[in-house]
Amino acid sequence: MKTIIEPFRIKSVEPLRLTTEEERKGLLRDAHYNLFGLSSDDVLIDLLTDSGTSAMSAKQWAAIMLGDESYAGSPSFRRFEQAVRHLMPFRHIIPTHQGRAAEAILFHLIGGPGRKIPSNTHFDTTRGNIEATGAEAIDLPAPEGLDPAAPHPFKGNIDLTRLEAFLRENGDAVPCVMITVTNNAGGGQPASLANIREAAELAHRFGKRFIVDGCRFAENAWFIKQREPGQQGRPVVDIVRDMFALADGMTMSAKKDAFANIGGWLALNNDDLAERARTRLIQTEGFPTYGGLAGRDLDAIAQGLVEIVDEDYLAYRARTNAYIGERLATLGVPIVQPTGGHAVFVDARTWLSHIPPLEYPGQALACALYEVGGIRACEIGTVMFGRQPDGSEKPAKMDLVRLAMPRRVYTQSHADYVVETFAEISGVRTSLRGYRIEWEPSALRHFAARYKPLGPG
């Protein structure tokens, strides 16, 4: 078997600025050891997020020049609508400036005090938009998703037994059932087609709408093709259509699986709900043929949707993460198994077991990755989730560091460099120190907290 290569060549490059370890130590100190405080010019390999960071293709840039900026009735909207409907056969497709705007419109209409919305795992903006209406967001992940080391093929599944019990008990309070594909907050793990189908059937049996948060639909469909019995020979496009055929609607961030730098949509089948969504859209985003976007963005998304279901791209995409994961495992670095669709998650609590959770092992590893290699990653652990509503602090379930892969941006030698940086850190691992938080804002502290490194133990 030959190497799975990047199935593209490079026409336009963005030079990376090389820095020394000494420089980076100074820059990180000046940013109070918070990686969100760095200028991205000072980052060599930026794995902070896969959102909006994709490289667009020559055809997408060409499509941008065809964008029609008419206020109403733009042909860019028609191309966008057709491209979405080709994959997701919904009656109404409503463009928004990001995924969270689609969520805000949907939950403004179907949320509200006393309502309860179950999902495999809500993404944080989804949860935020549900809670902002006074409703409750409930996570019902399947039990296999909770053990980081277990290599189960569909760790993003929703727990159907708990969902059924939940609907039986809370039926009247539930306006819809959701599923997030892939399960971003749960490690980028996929849900199986059988699980999506059964969740939809269960929702419908109780008379509830079934809504898919489809941000990484193509990665999810690829994993279904690779891992689900009976799906191997099928085109990804057919699997995508099956995933959405049973749904009553979807929310989408085009910054993920549409190769766009901005954009999103809300899709619905119900005419009345769609009419009310468009009215809200006009109030908060814009006229229904552009939403919160420029015509050129709609064209970039339309072309991106053609490219995202290319199976050579998806094979390369999944392989990049698996490759990094395999090499890290060989070095003895514990990771969440199997590697997800958009990221590799490193178990920092296990790897840096000499640093207690309340001294933030994930933050310690993220800082070391920057100082040693100029790599920017994201702590997903006690910094992000440890502060309690009563002001106290307790360890998060896990202390992870997420290496999120921008789409089509980095090559295999970049991946090798990331692994080499881990190898170098491995040699000095036990000398890494924890951190304490010197100052933090009242909410979402990981974005702005200031840290101090703790002295050698």
When asked if residue 184 is in the footprint of ligand PLP (CB under 6 A), the reply is: yes
Considering the complex, state which of residue 130 and residue 346 has its C-beta at the smaller distance from ligand PLP.
130
| Residue choice 255, 296, 317, 349 for contact with ligand PLP (CB under 6 A) | 255
From residue 207 to residue 246, the character string flagging contacts with ligand PLP as x (rule: CB under 6 A) and all else as - is ------x-x-------------------------------
When asked if residue 126 is in the footprint of ligand PLP (CB under 6 A), the reply is: yes
When asked if residue 180 is in the footprint of ligand PLP (CB under 6 A), the reply is: yes
| Residue choice 8, 32, 37, 125 for contact with ligand PLP (CB under 6 A) | 125
Stretch near ligand PLP under the rule CB under 6 A, chosen from 122-130, 148-156, 280-288, 421-429: 122-130
Strand partners, 387: 393
Distance CA 219, CA 181 (A): 8
| Residue choice 264, 325, 340, 381 for contact with ligand PLP (CB under 6 A) | 264
Note the Cα 271 to chain centre separation in Å.
29
Distance CA 347, CA 396 (A): 12
Distance CA 432, CA 206 (A): 53
Q: Residues 94, 268: contact at Cβ < 8 Å?
A: yes
Considering the complex, state which of residue 125 and residue 412 has its C-beta at the smaller distance from ligand PLP.
125
Q: In 3-state terms, what secondary structure has residue 403?
A: strand
Distance CA 81, CA 72 (A): 14
Burial degree of 443 (CB within 10 A; 0-12, 13-18, 19+): exposed
| Residue choice 28, 34, 44, 51 for contact with ligand PLP (CB under 6 A) | 51
Burial 189-215 (b: 16+ CB within 10 A, else e): bbbbbbbbebbbebbeebebbbbbbbb
Q: Residues 18, 44: contact at Cβ < 8 Å?
A: yes
Burial 87-125 (b: 16+ CB within 10 A, else e): bbebebbbbbbbbbbbbbbbbbbbbeeebbbbbbbbbeb
| Residue choice 77, 123, 313, 422 for contact with ligand PLP (CB under 6 A) | 123
Stretch near ligand PLP under the rule CB under 6 A, chosen from 98-106, 357-365, 380-388, 432-440: 98-106
Q: Give the H/E segment covering residue 251.
A: strand 249-253
Type of residue numbered 426: S
Q: How far is the CB of 440 from ligand PLP (least distance, A)?
A: 23
Strand partners, 335: 346
Considering the complex, state which of residue 240 and residue 432 has its C-beta at the smaller distance from ligand PLP.
240
From residue 141 to residue 170, the character string flagging contacts with ligand PLP as x (rule: CB under 6 A) and all else as - is ------------------------------
Q: How far is the CB of 105 from ligand PLP (least distance, A)?
A: 12
When asked if residue 284 is in the footprint of ligand PLP (CB under 6 A), the reply is: no
- ω into 339 cis (within 30 of 0): no
| Residue choice 34, 231, 253, 289 for contact with ligand PLP (CB under 6 A) | 253
Alpha helices in 397-438 (DSSP H): 412-428
Q: How far is the CB of 407 from ligand PLP (least distance, A)?
A: 13
Considering the complex, state which of residue 135 and residue 425 has its C-beta at the smaller distance from ligand PLP.
135
Stretch near ligand PLP under the rule CB under 6 A, chosen from 97-105, 145-153, 237-245, 297-305: 97-105
| Radius of gyration of the CA atoms of the chain, in A | 22
Stretch near ligand PLP under the rule CB under 6 A, chosen from 171-179, 253-261, 319-327, 409-417: 253-261
Q: Which residue is nearest to ligand PLP (CB)?
A: 99
- Chain positions contacting ligand PLP, by CB under 6 A: 51, 98-100, 123, 125-126, 180, 184, 213, 215, 253, 255-256, 264
